[in-house]
Structure 1
Amino acid sequence: MITFGKTIRLFLPDGTTNGLTTAELSNWTGIGIKVPRIKIRDYNARTEFQKPGVYILFGKDGNNEDAAYIGEAEVVAERLAQHIVNKDFWNEAVFFVSKDKYLNKASVKYLESRLYEIAVSAGRFAISQNTPARPELSEAEQAELEEFLSNVRILTASLGYKIFELLIETVEQGTTRQQLFYCKNGAGASSIGSPSTEGFIVYKDSLLLIAAQQSLSESIRLERQKMLSEGILVVEGAFYKLTKDYIFTSSSRAAAATLSRSSSGPIEWKTADGIQLKSFES
């Protein structure tokens, strides 16, 4: 599929990053707004706040993990005011409306449902809410909203939140799930992964050796324990098994977590033909 470059315009009305930010794409009728919770009352008279739209609340849950709530509103300002009163976890909101009258109640409910679906699939944020109902729309209406949705995803990431970005979408250009790298040892550890724009993805069902050698760093020991407590790893005999794709910050960290020892990722990760990862990085 052919992709095209995008021109994104960010505007800070107050000239500071601590206030409201608007985000627009060229030749698009939508607009994104990022606003801190404590500043919402300062801006809610703006035109964008008085329109129907879809919004995301961002903050931390009780375990200090990234959390979000996705919703829709016929008047965004009114709904955000309600959430200031009844939801305590969030500290920033991002919402999207149309600069014309394109969005209505049915369309924002469709966007809410689809954004919830994508966010849950991406698994980057804790999403604790009921599954939104999706309205019945014509095929043409859905196609138009899917285009709007794609721009919402781009701008949300540009505003600092990759809640809608699937891990597989971060795989390095030119690397696909068919061009995989393997990390194994004689004890049976066996991981499959790919370089990512955020580090190194290790794919679901990979097996990480539990028994740790002395050279394994304390930070990786702690990361594996955290993954275990969150259900990202489960015990399977002498191994931890990944229950979902997971991004490590580097190939070396991914190799060390797999082999339970200090490791050099560019050397340990190899293609099925035995070519080391370092050959692709040089």
Structure 2
Amino acid sequence: TYIGQATNRKNGEGVLLRVQEHTRDNHADYFNDVIILTTQNNSFGPTEISYLENKFTQLAKDAGRFIVKNGNEPNSGNVTEEKQSELDEVVENTLMIVGTLGYRVFVPMTKKTDQNVSDENSTYLYLKRKTKKSNRMIEAICEQTSEGFVVLEGSQVDEVDSPAIPASLKELRKELIKSNVIKDGVLQEKQLFSSPSYAAAFVLGMNTNGRTDWKNKDGKTLKELEELIEC
């Protein structure tokens, strides 16, 4: 994800020229869709636009769904309290519109809860397994949500790939190591997967059965928990 601003140029072109520039640079390697936000009367100046750029960038980072590719941290700008209130309303309306269009870039993958707190309704699952590839004890935590299985930041990741690991996971792990999202074998940002086996394979670097690898705090496997629900 890249979040940026565009201003009018001397030739009169602004937003569209900015998009065209990104289709010719290294950003074109990873984006397929563009969302453009404009005003009807050009009422926002550089300060207001910088505030919005900073706000949306932070919201995208907090959501943790995508890697934010902004090279520099946008400046929040020095806006008055009254102007900030007006801009925050713009942000809220934008989040609603973007979500309605089906883009979940600003929607957090998980709720902010304490994973160490005991809770009967907790959806946290734990994996602890020693791999022969690196001879490391790998410990990871994931949260089961309505969208899938979210491996949480702080989870350990075996950085050595098995030859049989799915190509998509191999590429993802390679990219995350390169960008330091996996740093020294520890995941820095949460990652969403559609199945427990893909979540476990991502952590362990090999094909595995996630339904038996992931367990709740009482040691029951996901498979056992699913069978209890079916009964």
Per the TM superposition, whether the score is higher than 0.5 is yes
CA contact (8 A) 1:70 1:115 kept: no
> In 2 relative to 1, CA 256–125 (structure 1 residues): closer, same or farther, beyond 3 Å?
closer
Alignment of 1:44-55 (within 5 A): none
What secondary structure is seen at the aligned counterpart in 2 of 1:132? coil
Alignment of 1:65-104 (within 5 A): 67-71=1-5, 73=7, 78-83=13-18, 86-87=21-22, 88-89=24-25, 93-97=34-38, 103-104=43-44
Counterparts of 2:160 and 2:7, CA distance in 1: 51
Q: Name which of 113, 128, 134 aligns with 1:184.
A: 128
CA contact (8 A) 2:57 2:68 kept: no
The residue type paired with residue 44 of structure 2 is N
Q: Going by fraction, where is strand more abundant, 1 or 2?
A: 1
Aligned alpha-carbon RMSD (Å): 3.6
C-alpha offsets along residues 49-105 of structure 1, whole Å, 9 cap, x if unaligned? xxxxxxxxxxxxxxxxxx424215479x84214425644346754223456x69532
1:242 alignment counterpart: 187
1:16 alignment counterpart: none
User: C-alpha displacement at 1:200, in angstroms?
Assistant: 1.4
Counterparts of 2:95 and 2:202, CA distance in 1: 31
C-alpha offsets along residues 17-50 of structure 1, whole Å, 9 cap, x if unaligned? xxxxxxxxxxxxxxxxxxxxxxxxxxxxxxxxxx
Q: Name which of 55, 59, 64 aligns with 1:118.
A: 59
Tell me whether 1:151 sits opposite 2:93 in the alignment. Answer: yes
> In 2 relative to 1, CA 146–72 (structure 1 residues): closer, same or farther, beyond 3 Å?
farther
Higher RCO (C-alpha under 8 Å, 6+ residues apart)? 2
What secondary structure is seen at the aligned counterpart in 2 of 1:150? helix
* Structure 2 segments unaligned to the other structure (5+ residues): 132-136
CA contact (8 A) 2:8 2:15 kept: no
CA contact (8 A) 1:268 1:276 kept: yes
* Structure 1 segments unaligned to the other structure (5+ residues): 1-66
Q: Going by fraction, where is helix more abundant, 1 or 2?
A: 2
> In 2 relative to 1, CA 160–79 (structure 1 residues): closer, same or farther, beyond 3 Å?
farther
Q: How many residues align?
A: 206
2:148 alignment counterpart: 199
> Identity of counterpart residues, as a percentage?
22
TM-score relative to the length of structure 2? 0.68
